[in-house]
Amino acid sequence: MNADLFDGLSDLNLQQICLDDGAFLLRGFAKNVDADLMSALEKVVAQSPFRHMITPGGFRMSVAMSNCGQVGWITNRSGYRYDVIDPETGSSMASFA
């Protein structure tokens, strides 16, 4: 399925579209809090900037990632894992509050 996620944004009403079992597109559900979400995201990214992690095999991932919460998913030469410490900053993961 290749639905256009941005089709019809001008007349956005709340819609719950089932994409597959357990997967839904929730059109319009964040439209009244989008500024708050962006502000919270900017705070997370200030604490844990997007970065291209290195796989255990030494390859740079094409996707840039950030983490927040109690643990974050990381990868480096030591392997893939969830960790409470951000290896780039040496601090706990950014909070999302």
Report whether pLDDT(12) > 80: no
pLDDT at 5: 63
Range of the domain at 20: 10-83
If we measure between CA atoms, which residue out of 53, 80, 79 comes closest to residue 64?
Answer: 53
Per residue in 27-74, pLDDT (tens digit) is: 888 888 889 989 989 999 998 899 999 999 999 999 999 999 999 999
- Decide if 97 is inside a domain: no
**What CATH number is associated with residue 25?**
2.60.120.590
Query: In this structure, are residues 42 and 66 in contact, taking their beta carbons and an 8 Å threshold?
Result: no
10 or 16, higher pLDDT: 16
- The predicted structure's pLDDT at residue 31: 85
Predicted model pTM: 0.67
